[in-house]
Amino acid sequence: GDDVIDNDIRTYLLAQAAVTAIVGTAVFSGKAPQKTTPPYCVVEQTGGAPEQHAGGVSGLKRADVEIRCHGKT
């Protein structure tokens, strides 16, 4: 994954009261540490590509991001 994108989304999720009410600070980039006890979320970029426009590559990148949330049950 792209650590910058993963970390930015992680920061955003941790600023959301609805998320932290459920998982606290257990939002991880890439993968959760072994033996992490649910509930927790994992943010990972799973793909992406440079964006194109009529003049060629725009300098922007499309990112495919997956957010997996694991519950107690």
Say what the pLDDT of residue 63 is.
Answer: 84
Q: Which residue matches tokens 């509930």?
A: 39
Q: Where are the alpha helices (DSSP H) in the chain?
A: 3-14, 17-23
Per-residue pLDDT 10s for the chain (73 aa) are 567 888 899 999 999 999 999 999 999 998 999 999 999 999 998 888 878 777 777 778 888 999 999 998 8
Counted residue by residue, the chain has a size of: 73
The pLDDT assigned to 3 comes to 77
Distance of alpha carbon 55 from alpha carbon 50, whole angstroms = 13
User: What's the predicted TM-score (pTM) here?
Assistant: 0.80
d(CA 7, CA 73): 27
pLDDT of residue 39: 97
